[in-house]
Amino acid sequence: MGILIGRVLFSFAFAAAGLVLLRTAGLMYKKQRELRRRGIVTGGEVVGFETKSQMDSATRGPYYAPIVRYFEPGGSPIEVHSTEYRRPNPYVVGQQVSIRYLPDDPLNGDIDGVQSGWSTLVIFAIFIVVSFTIASLPFVLKR
């Protein structure tokens, strides 16, 4: 009886993780789709960088995310930090870049193309499949 409860709890934990990942992937897909369908593209200028260090940063250096200034339709300047950190840094201060944002949320723009990458969704899909596979193992491998 104790083994059965352990199997059910084990399966439940991985199934719950799979459901959370599935929901997160769905929200990411929805946001990407909305940005592609309704997003406004405007020009911006790189005005600085935010850095993030990792364990290997002593040998390889930090990751960089550009800080970009652009103007909303009303003419007010907006500065945003890109959500993508890269190493080596492909941007320079003063560089012109395209920014994409939703009309009802101009404060959350990002460099065009950064939020449209499918690689994150593919990684989430792999983890979802692994989670659900592990969740089903105790029932598939019954003795």
| Total number of domains constituting the chain | 1
Question: Is it the case that residue 32 has pLDDT exceeding 70?
Answer: yes
Q: What is the mean pLDDT of residues 45-53?
A: 90
Token duo for residue 65: 């995310």
* Burial class of residue 1 (count of CB atoms within 10 Å of its CB; 0-12, 13-18, 19+): exposed
**CA–CA distance, 97 with 140 (Å, rounded to integer):** 52
For residue 23, the enclosing domain spans 2-140
- Whole-angstrom Cα distance, residue 6 to residue 22? 24
| Total-model pTM | 0.66
Neighbouring CB atoms inside 10 A of 125's CB total: 14
Question: Can you tell me the mean pLDDT for 106-127?
Answer: 77
Strand-pairing partners, residue 77, are: 71
